[in-house]
A and B are shown apart, each in its own frame.
Chain A
Amino acid sequence: MATDVEVVAPPSEPVAPPARRSIDRIRRFSDPLIFGVLITIGWQVIIQIFDFHPVVLPPPSRVWTVLSTQGDFLLESMLDSLDTIIRGFLYGSLFGWAAGVAITYSPIVRRAIHPILVALFVVPKAIFLPLLILWWGVGGFPDHKIVVTMLLAFFPVTENTIAGLSGVDREMTELSRSLGGSALFMFRKIALPFSLPFVLAGLRIAMTEAFIGTLFVEILVPNEGIGSRIVDAQDVSNTQFIIAAIVVIAAFGLAAYFLLQWIEKRLTKWY
């Protein structure tokens, strides 16, 4: 059942095709820019032609105004969310890694718990939120926001840790054992480095999942963070604020993704 869930990420995935000539290298940056400008112009033209009300579709200039005048407020709310995201991500991936190690090395734990985790992966985890709020409540410890974020960040790390540890070269382990290496020594010097690329790829997915978890709770149960500010904006029909907030979330999401990808590349050069 373990290999049925294909959430195991390849150690790195290409974003763009490799650039061969220098003209390709330029077009890799110019084409997205041209497309972005075309979309913005098209957006403006559609508003002019169909005469949309700004509540339905505000012009790009209004979104820009929100970004430039309320940038501090957006950033502050985003940092509030980021606090939850990072803590949930750290706790979730730590538990996820520990679960992955336990499942790989203990057959009993594997047979007893792994099917439950696999099942949990395919269940919409949003449905647990009312129960988690009831038990951990708003402002309780640990906060329900962190619990949901942990729950989402947990699984990719577990699956990738299992995949990484199960793929460890047998011959190397045998050799080390025959030379008198202890179990702990083999784990530290062989299993850990070998599973690292997989664990790091899992962390990359876990970060995206952590964003989903925190944003979901903030939108469903608004109190603080950028998700709650989106709901506030929706209540007063401030559509340009919603779009500006999405832009900010996308920027931070991409930054987190590329940061983790950079760490991944640095740590797994040899792979």
Chain B
Amino acid sequence: MVLRSDSVLKKPSTWPAELLRRLWNAKELILTLLAALIGWIIILEIQDYHPLVLPPPGAVWEYLVAEWSSLAKETLWSFYEMLLGFALGGSLGFAMAIAIFYSPFVHRAVYPYVFGFRVVPKVAFLPLFLVWFGIGLTVKVVMAGTAVFFLVLVQTHLGLATVDPSLVELGKSLKMKESLLLRQIRIPAALPAIMVGIKLGITYALTNVVVAEMVVATNGLGFLVVRARQQSRTDGIIAVIIVTAIVGILVYQLGRAVERRFTFWYFEERTG
């Protein structure tokens, strides 16, 4: 363990100072967002758009306040479906990657098809999945799982195939059995690549859950936006977009936190 000088020498900063520093660093971003908000108000002052086309910011805020309980409930639904799909697709993708890694036949036989399916938009499968799974929870979980499956498969295989050969040699010279070698050396060394798959996979899962929800329209954020459109509530559409944006960013940050938690050594090596 190398003691890193900056962690010792850096002055401990109090959180208000830290918050101020971060806000100051993001001043241009904050100004842009403020300018967009002011632009929105000015446009409405100049041209008297119907609220159906462009509602005032106040209306969106009121919608957020009035509907917060249903927004929170449907957000949790989407999140739940996303996690189930992620678990399903991720575990299958991981298992498939290991099969591909150990069997040259499976590699040659299956990989071209995996590659082909990756290029097809997953949304094209949605009508087929609707026939097979109906309009319940399953179809959304499967949609999310499909997206995660290919990403985790490709990333895991990439990671396993590019492990430093000297590490594997070391394990072999210690007479490690292949199962131990896989668990103790190959998978840990492949983690940086696997984690990229997991981090991006979780956002893909959310995207596909929302897509499925917009078509099935029984619950979740996708349902809320479709309902707002059917009710001609443009303020509602914008409110749901804002909530979805926040959820998307939080989910990505969650993925990043998981990545940092398991591969902190990789980032320390990279940034020095």
Contact = CB atoms under 8 A, between A and B. Distances in A.
Contact of A112 (B28, B53, B228, B251): B28
B125 interface: yes
Interface in B5-59: 26-29, 31-33, 52-53
Interface string A52-80: 00011000000000000000000000000
B252 A250 contact: no
Nearest to B31: A112
A108 B28 contact: yes
A208 B116 CA distance: 11
The prevalent SS among residues of B at the interface is helix
A125 B119 CA distance: 18
A237 B128 CA distance: 10
A203 to B, nearest CB: 14
B124 A124 contact: no
Contact of A32 (B26, B108, B124, B225): B108
Dominant secondary structure of chain A at its interface with chain B: helix
B47 to A, nearest CB: 14
Interface residues of B, number: 64
Interface of A: 4, 6-7, 15-17, 27-28, 31-32, 34-36, 55-56, 108, 111-113, 115-116, 119-120, 122-131, 133-135, 208, 211-212, 215-216, 219-220, 227, 230-231, 233-234, 237, 239, 242-243, 245-246, 249-250, 253-254, 256-257
Given A6-B199, A129-B214, 12 more contacts: A16-B107, A35-B109, A56-B131, A111-B28, A122-B251, A123-B249, A126-B211, A126-B214, A131-B238, A134-B52, A230-B124, A242-B127
Nearest to B238: A131
Interface of B: 26-29, 31-33, 52-53, 104-105, 107-113, 115-128, 130-132, 196, 199-200, 203, 206-207, 209-211, 214-215, 221-222, 225-226, 228-229, 234, 237-238, 240-241, 244-245, 248-249, 251-252, 256
Contacts of B125: 246
Given A15-B112, A34-B109, A250-B119, A6 B200 contact: yes
